[in-house]
Structure 1
Amino acid sequence: MVVPGLDFLLVTRLAVLRGRSAALQATLGIATGVAAWGVAGFFGIRTLFIAAPWLYLALKIGGGLYLITIGVKLFISSWHSTAEPTEPAATTQARSSHFRAGLLTNLANPKAPVFISSLFAAAMPRHAPIHLGLACVAAMFAVAVAWFALVTLLLSLERVSALFLRCRRWVDRCAGLAFMALGMRFVTERAPN
């Protein structure tokens, strides 16, 4: 969770550019995605991907295309935008779009289900009771919320956000390139055997 990745980039941008509320909404979306992958991992998504490799391929390509799209939008907007409001009006649409962005960014990463299912395969007893698996999923959800809430609180501080805003165009360009590169990698890499 702590290793910076796509979820971290999203929360960082939202915390600085849109404020705490937007970043916390995305945090809930990310944590929901983590929980979804956790439930799927516990109930055997790795087995499903082995039995039907085309599902993994579809997830990789779909997720990769989503990330490429986000990256292109970020990169292009970095050349055109001068300033963005820091905290939009707290509308239901804005809240749901930030939550959806967090959820989709997490679900679009095809490495997440492989990592989580491998974690369950390595750490859980073979016939683990359902309550143990669900407790692990709840712990994963709590860790995601705690970590990204901490990131949000730190990055929405005035000094930190002022520094980010001074470097914003370059940060957006680098983030856009990172999203595009990861998306291209997901679309083009070979499935593991």
Structure 2
Amino acid sequence: MQEITLLTTIAGAFIVLIVSPGPNFLVITQIAVNQSRMQGIYAGLGVATGSITWATLAATGLGFAFSQLPHLQPVLQFVGGAYLGYIGVNMLRNAGNQPATRELDRLRLYTPGRAYRFGLMTNLTNPKALAFYTSIFTTVTTPGLPQWVRLAGVAIIAALAISWFALLATLFSIPHIQNGYRRAKKSIDITTGIVMTGFGLRMLAGLLPAHLLG
């Protein structure tokens, strides 16, 4: 019963993580709208692969790795913050422009492989994902926990991630939804840029000493 409760908690927390608007959500929907459903699905599969990677690392001792290599997490945090900030600033600069000049298009995500890699990189540098897997999901590495619980935790993450992100790309490729999106394009571009820049800055701010933030 304890194992089932743990898996249910992980699943519930992960659902909240993926349905809330963030870098992963925004990247998939914008690629699906501005390029194609297939490109959006491949980007979603890249994001899902990132989730599975984080889950696997967590289940096999991500927290232990960070404790043994204390400089690893700050490095990942810096790379993620700088990357998201770069994407956000460029989106703000190109807000309201035609799709050909948008940041995601300028990255030339016209092949499935490139869309997949962009989705993967976005998730691997996502501060929300980093916080999630280094906290809640690392509970599956508790000493004495059966191996099947760890495997089940990864399987749940994989099933939820693939299903949700593929559905998200499909929904935002529907013409009716696309038309509504394009009518609010500039506002959404600005919001997207602000959110991504905010995520990046917040992640970078976390590297500063506490007394400087006080």
Report the TM-score when normalising by structure 2. 0.78
Residue in 2 that maps onto 1:82: 98
Say how many residue pairs are matched: 188
Residue in 2 that maps onto 1:157: 174
| Mapping for residues 37-186 of structure 1, pairs under 5 Å | 37-78=54-95, 81-84=97-100, 94-122=111-139, 126-186=143-203
Contact 2:109/2:115 (CA < 8 Å) preserved in 1?
no
Shift of 1:114: 3.5
Query: Bigger CA drift: 12-21 or 115-124?
Result: 115-124
Identical aligned residues as a percent: 32
Contact 1:46/1:114 (CA < 8 Å) preserved in 2?
no
Contact 2:34/2:99 (CA < 8 Å) preserved in 1?
no
Contact 2:92/2:194 (CA < 8 Å) preserved in 1?
yes
Contact 2:45/2:116 (CA < 8 Å) preserved in 1?
yes
Structure 1 unpaired stretches of 5+: none
**Structure 2: which amino acid aligns with 1:113?**
L
Contact 1:28/1:145 (CA < 8 Å) preserved in 2?
yes
Contact 2:83/2:200 (CA < 8 Å) preserved in 1?
yes
Aligned alpha-carbon RMSD (Å): 2.7
Contact 2:40/2:170 (CA < 8 Å) preserved in 1?
no
Cα gap change, 1:49 to 1:111, in 2 (>3 Å): farther
Q: Which has the higher contact order (CA 8 A, sep 6+)?
A: 1
Contact 1:45/1:113 (CA < 8 Å) preserved in 2?
no
CA distance in 1, matches of 2:25, 2:74: 25
Which consecutive aligned stretches of 4+ in structure 1 deviate over 3 angstroms post-superposition? 120-125, 128-132, 190-193
Shift of 1:66: 0.5
Shift of 1:154: 1.6
Cα gap change, 1:83 to 1:102, in 2 (>3 Å): closer
Report the TM-score when normalising by structure 1. 0.85
Cα gap change, 1:35 to 1:181, in 2 (>3 Å): same
